[in-house]
Amino acid sequence: MESDFLTWLRHRLPAHATGPLGLTDDAALLELRSSDRVLVSADMLMDGVDFVVGQCDPLMIGRKALAVNLSDMAAMAAQPRAALVSLALPRQHGRPLAEAIFEGLLPLAEEYEVRLAGGDTNSWNGPLVIDITVIGEATDRGPLLRSRALPGDEILATGSFGGSILGRHFSFSPRVREALMLHRDFELHAAIDVSDGLALDLSRLAHESGCGAVLRTDQVPLSPAATQLADQNPAAGSALDHALSDGEDFELLIAATPSEVQRILASRPVSVPLARIGRLIEKQGLWQESAASEMKPLAPAGYLHQLDP
């Protein structure tokens, strides 16, 4: 099955969409501009956790599998260059599923100029698993890290938060272009992408930078889907609760000095909405503050994979 499928895939891909060896050899040859700025990240999606085969379009599964990896490159302000795509396919209907996954991810690869450098295609008596490794390059300014935020920095967020389960977890745009543009034109200190929840990922950025964070809960942009979820089932939380902890928003949190954040907001350099949603402080921990009230602790809620001891 694998060689048939590879023949299909090679014919399906435009010549420029693979590396110089074109998926023909045992390993890929990558032509990167600089060998000292290479960034690598991997993300694995599993049937039953990140999507449910049979309940969603397999094209969207393929798209999402690449998009989540591109979001990690955006968080580092890196230009994604190549992807290695590995599939563990259920034997039954595995071939059309594999084709649909690639049909879903290839347009996104084309849009972001990511070459398909290789991967692996296996089948088994288990559910679908997609593992993608993306290789990217930092710009001359180097990668944006989580750990360089300073107390006093403000936190800028792209887009809006919450309710991604209603569809945006499949259709989101990784903020690669926005990150590259902001990193090029402004002095950014640190960044992270929100994959597991705004509160949890903000706490991670603050922790890596050795400081705490205060979230201005009245300034968090709520997505229409967060409001919709809260309206449908008030017992499951408010729109703000969804925005803080749902995850899979794949927006960016960026730390920069207040004057730099002001300069960014004044010049509106990207088409995606930007909002100032909080600040970093010396006191460790995660805190919330509304327009009128004082600081209160905020639980770093979000999605974590559970492991049995």
Q: Which stretch binds Mg ion (CB under 5 A): 66-74, 205-213, 227-235, 256-264?
A: 66-74
Q: Quick one: 249 or 289, whose CB is closer to Mg ion?
A: 249
The interface with Mg ion within residues 220-249 (CB under 5 A) comprises none
CB of 72 to Mg ion, least distance (A): 4
Q: Where are the alpha helices (DSSP H) in 112-197?
A: 168-171, 176-185
Q: Could you give the CA distance from residue 172 to residue 68 in angstroms, rounded to a whole number? A: 9
The two structure tokens encoding residue 176: 């690669």
Q: Could you give the CA distance from residue 61 to residue 70 in angstroms, rounded to a whole number? A: 14
CB atoms near residue 188 (< 10 Å): 25
CB of 270 to Mg ion, least distance (A): 19
Residue 193 makes contact with Mg ion by CB under 5 A: yes
Q: How many residues bind Mg ion (CB under 5 A)?
A: 3
Q: Which stretch binds Mg ion (CB under 5 A): 23-31, 70-78, 176-184, 297-305?
A: 70-78
Angle between helices 2-12 and 94-111 (to 10 degrees): 30
Residue 47 makes contact with Mg ion by CB under 5 A: no
DSSP-derived 3-state class of residue 23: coil
Q: Who contacts 95 (Cβ-Cβ below 8 Å, separation ≥6)?
A: 1, 4, 5, 89
Residue 260 makes contact with Mg ion by CB under 5 A: no
Q: Which stretch binds Mg ion (CB under 5 A): 14-22, 67-75, 86-94, 103-111?
A: 67-75
On whether the CB atoms of residues 61 and 113 are closer than 8 A, the answer is: no
Q: What binding mask, one character per residue, do residues 159-178 give for Mg ion by CB under 5 A, x or -?
A: --------------------
Locate the DSSP E strands across 73-206. Answer: 78-90, 115-124, 129-138, 154-158, 190-193
Residue 72 makes contact with Mg ion by CB under 5 A: yes
Q: Quick one: 128 or 134, whose CB is closer to Mg ion?
A: 134
Q: Which stretch binds Mg ion (CB under 5 A): 90-98, 194-202, 257-265, 281-289?
A: 194-202
Q: Which residues bind Mg ion (CB under 5 A)?
A: 72, 193, 195
